[in-house]
Amino acid sequence: MDIKNQLEIIKRGAVDIISEEELIRKLESAQKENRPLRIKAGFDPTAPDLHLGHTVLLSKLRQFQDLGHQVYFLIGDFTGRIGDPSGRSETRKQLTPEEVRRNAETYKKQVSKILDIHKIKVVFNGEWFDKMSVLEILKLTTHATVSQMLARADFKKRLSDNKDISLLEFMYPVLQGFDSVKLEADVEIGGTDQIFNLLIGRDIQKDFNQEQQVVITMPLLEGTDGAQKMSKSYGNYVGINEKPDDMFGKIMSISDELMFKYYTLLTVEDLDSVKAMHPKEAKVKLAKIIIGKYHSAETADKAADNFEKVFSSRQIPDAMPVFKISGPVKVIDVIVGSGLAKSKNEARRLLQQGAVEFNGNKVTDENFSIVLPGVLKVGSRRFLKVEK
């Protein structure tokens, strides 16, 4: 593929490319020498359950794979014990070596749904850091300054809020930068919150007389609420291992505006064609594409049919009572709080009898939490619209 077309694919959805001229030069050189570029992305295995937010970066890595380049999937088994301070308002909890190894194995299994696992090189930065002496690691600090660290937006905010910053956290960007030296990375990809760390990598490569890596940042994907970045802690995530019906319902709940961002970052669909479609039709197509990718086309079609039966069937009334929630609420509390049951004991009996459904899915566990808008059905005729 010619350089222009490669560049067009690489640029789709990207926020920063530092610099595009350097990237073109690297692509031209790789093509001339018939060798792949070394593409690096680092993952601290702190949250092994992947959701669509994680797949933004992973999909970009897959594009590089499809263009014939070599992806280095770096698992920070060493730096994961420190914790990346990016975007944090407080010091991260340090993981034990056992937790890191367990999470790393889970990551490797899950990314195989997106990346060609047979063509990536999985590396652990403990391979070099565990062998370095204290003196060697301390010498790495000469490649960055305190003033550089204090210029970070997240560190600035924590200082202004009188929150602690450990010296250990100052080390993280330096160690991540040294990873690029060890891998001789041509390109490093990360989220927009990673740009400081990625640029430090360029500086350290220069100090080690290496050609500097091109930095590419990808946007942080908003969750289904359209406000916060996608995260399990915010309850606004769509997990790639979730049930197809749950995934379909969550995707159909997003705004039309957010839908186009999902199309841009999570698919290769032509956006002009998508914008010409009716919003609901486009959203159904998006849900099918995503579910088809992580499950199968057959289960995607079935989830679409199930959704249509639940939300388009005349069985659901046009008008129904509304119950508003501001965060995750246990279903038993919604049933009682809305007046669909007079007591928790009555609500428990309804759950045990299989008389409760949320978004078409039967609910029997009283500890089930409702986190997204939808329709709660109790019995055969009582409906409740749950809104944020």
Q: What DSSP string describes 71-127?
A: EEEEE-TTGGGT---TT-SSPPPPPPHHHHHHHHHHHHHHHTTTS-TTT-EEEETHH
Average pLDDT of span 115-137: 92
Domains of the chain by start residue, with CATH: 3-218 (3.40.50.620), 222-313 (1.10.240.10), 317-388 (3.10.290.10)
pLDDT given at position 313: 60
What six digits make up the tokens of 227? 């406000």
Give 319-353 as a 3 state SS string.
CCCEEECCCCEEHHHHHHHCCCCCCHHHHHHHHHC
Average pLDDT of span 280-306: 94
Average pLDDT of span 126-146: 91
Predicted TM-score of the model (pTM): 0.73
pLDDT given at position 48: 64
Q: Does an H or E element contain 187, and which?
A: strand 187-191
Q: Omega of the bond prior to 296 within 30 degrees of 0, cis?
A: no
pLDDT given at position 226: 87
pLDDT given at position 82: 67
CA distance 287 to 283: 6
Supply the DSSP symbol for 95: P
Q: Calculate ∠ Cα 44-48-52, nearest 5°.
A: 100
CA 13 to chain centre: 14
Average pLDDT of span 297-304: 93
Most confidently predicted of 95-99, 119-123, 283-287: 283-287
Average pLDDT of span 131-159: 87
CA distance 160 to 276: 47
Q: Which of 65-74, 206-215, 300-309 has the lowest mean pLDDT?
A: 300-309
pLDDT given at position 151: 80
CA distance 332 to 341: 9
Indicate whether 127 pLDDT > 80. Answer: yes
Q: How confident is the model at residue 312 (pLDDT cuts 50, 70, 90)?
A: low
Average pLDDT of span 276-285: 94
CA distance 216 to 229: 19
Structural Rg of the chain based on CA atoms: 24
Tens of pLDDT, residues 54-94: 999 999 999 999 999 999 999 888 877 665 555 444 555 66
pLDDT given at position 98: 79
pLDDT given at position 318: 63
- Pairing verdict, β 214-218 and 322-324: unpaired
CB 53 within 8 A of CB 230: yes
Q: How confident is the model at residue 110 (pLDDT cuts 50, 70, 90)?
A: confident
pLDDT given at position 147: 85
pLDDT given at position 89: 47
Give the rounded percent of residues in the chain with a pLDDT score beyond 90.
53
Average pLDDT of span 268-278: 92
Nearest Cα neighbor of 36 from 12, 71, 63 is 71
Average pLDDT of span 32-36: 95
Q: Which of 271-275, 309-313, 340-344 has the lowest mean pLDDT?
A: 309-313
Average pLDDT of span 323-340: 91
What six digits make up the tokens of 132? 């370095």
Q: Which of 100-104, 163-167, 346-350, 373-377 has the lowest mean pLDDT?
A: 100-104
**Average pLDDT across the chain, whole number:** 88
